[in-house]
Amino acid sequence: MPVQNTDLDTTSLLNSVGIENFFNLKDDITTEVIENVAIDAAILIGICAVVWLVTRWIAKVIMKSISGKTKTEFDDFLVQYNFFKWLANIVPALILEFQERTLFEDILDNNSIVYRLTDALIVVFITKVIIAFVNASREFLSKRPNLKDKPLYSYAQLTKIFIYFFAGILVFSILSEKSPVYFLSAMGAMTAVILLIFKDTILGFVASIQLSANDMVRIGDWISMPKFGADGDVIEINLTTIKVKNFDNTITTIPTYSFISDSFKNWRGMEESGGRRIKRAIHIKVGSIQFCNNDMLHKFSKINLISTYIQDKKHEIEAYNKTEQVDDSMLINGRKMTNIGVFRVYIEMFLANNSNINNSLTYMVRQLQPTENGLPIEIYAFSKVKEWKGFEQVVADLFDHILAAAPEFELDIFQNPSGSDFNQFIN
């Protein structure tokens, strides 16, 4: 009875299922060799599994406990972004990398897909470790007072893009056994396609550099961009977008490059200055403007803020008119005070004595060109209170007083006639 050739049967069986070509198996593999390798492989996998469990436990329990007791926050962020967990995955992968060539030398060629997959897996783990470190560094640096307003998210995103790009090139190079230069040259031929796909990313990257270099926008800045309906604080600056938390607690996402191409208002200068600007006008009915007679001057002299001004100005005008021998029987002759002029002086004195107005900055009351809506009297000043709600309260209190004070100077506030005004004529 002829002896069956088991070695030949084993080789034929592997060839029939395509395993030999896929794994780059050596020729003339015996059943005994396969059995021995299988046992050793099972032992190696078991060791790697135990090492993986131990390192994961150390990363999850021990490192978390240690990080909670240290003074620095950096290790806390490393734990948060799974730096040690990914680092723990590298240890069993390295053991497998160093032992598998010895283990499989009898059945696998040096260029086997098994070795390449292990190498690629190690590259992936190392990439994840680096990414976790970048994320932790970004969070740690964002907590520092001198860096919290910088676009660290943009820098981190750009760094991660480059890391993922080169890691991907390296993985494909390992699996295909081709030089990374080969893939880089192929990417060069696809430049137009890449530019089209990553258009927003590239524009955002360029815009981020310009925003950072020119210090145009920081995290925490109050910006207004009507085109996108944004009016609030910048909470995040990414590579491609900037997030703005509006005052109604809605979130507006704006493309980063829009801050270069479109106009927007940054209120940082106001917040860093000594006050927030008030620039608002009231309109006086022109027909109510008149020269001041003695009765009006006597009434105005009782107003505390301008009593001294009235007396000094009255003496000055009387002296001038006496010198020029002005006929006082007509108010138009010589120099005279007007109710609108006295009113402007009163508002200016009111601003000077208002505790909410920063008098170290410019403040004035100016008369603008008359319009069909009357004579505009503009108040230009700076409020010490810069917070939105408090600022609006200061402005409201200021103009409440000014509008109520105007009739005391026999001035009428201009207002277009309403239905009730017309009813007076009907009745």
Q: How big is the CA angle at 323 (ends 318 and 326), to the nearest 5 degrees?
A: 70
* CATH of the structural domain 181-272, one choice from 2.60.40.1890, 2.40.160.40, 2.30.30.60, 2.30.30.700: 2.30.30.60
Average pLDDT, the chain: 81
Range in 57-66, 172-181, 312-321, 340-349 with the lowest mean pLDDT: 57-66
Number of H helices, E strands in the chain: 18, 8
Does the pLDDT of residue 18 top 70, yes or no?
no
283, 290 Cβ separation under 8 angstroms: no
pLDDT for position 412: 93
Q: Which DSSP string do the residues of 167-233 spell out, in sequence order? A: HHHHHHHHHHT--HHHHHHHHHHTHHHHHHHTHHHHHHHHHHHHHHHTT---TT-EEEEGGGTEEEE
For the question of whether the overall pTM of this predicted structure is more than 0.75, the answer is no
- Report the percentage of the chain scoring pLDDT > 90: 32
The candidate with the shortest Cα–Cα distance to 164, out of 128, 207, 204, 110, is 128
Span 18-39, mean pLDDT?
52
Q: Is the pLDDT of residue 181 over 70?
A: yes
Residue 333 three-state SS: coil
**Distance between CA atoms of 377 and 373, rounded to whole angstroms?**
12
**Domain range annotation of the chain:** 6-150, 181-272, 276-421
Condensed to tens digits (0 to 9), the pLDDT of residues 308-319 reads: 999 999 999 989
Q: Does the pLDDT value for residue 299 go beyond 50?
A: yes
Would you place residue 68 in the very low, low, confident or very high pLDDT band (cuts 50, 70, 90)? low
More confident residue, 368 or 144: 368
Please tell me the distance from the alpha carbon of residue 313 to that of residue 336, in angstroms, as a whole number: 10
Q: What is the DSSP string of 220-266?
A: T-EEEEGGGTEEEEEEEE-SSEEEEEETTS-EEEEETTHHHHS--EE
Average pLDDT rounded to a whole number, residues 92-116 = 66
Which of 236, 268, 77, 230 lies closest to 151, judged by CA? Answer: 236
Average pLDDT over residues 165-186: 80
- The alpha carbon of 251 is separated from its chain's Cα centroid by a whole number of angstroms, namely 11
Which are the contacts of 304, defined by CB distance < 8 A and separation ≥ 6?
none
DSSP state of 288: G
Amino acid 13: pLDDT:
43
Architecture of domain 276-421: 2-Layer Sandwich (3.30)
Contact status, residue 373 vs residue 283, Cβ threshold 8 Å: yes
Distance from chain centroid for Cα 140 = 17
Do the domains at 181-272 and 276-421 have one common CATH topology?
Answer: no
Confidence of residue 25 (pLDDT cuts 50, 70, 90): very low
Q: What is the pLDDT of residue 11?
A: 47
Interval 183-204 mean pLDDT: 71
What mean pLDDT comes out for the span 16-44? 54
Q: Find how far residue 256's CA is from the centre of its chain.
A: 10
pLDDT exceeds 80 at position 234: yes
Q: In sequence order, what are the residues at sequence separation of 6 or more whose Cβ sits closer than 8 angstroms to the Cβ of residue 18?
A: none
The model's confidence at residue 251, banded by pLDDT at 50, 70 and 90, is: very high
pLDDT at 327: 84
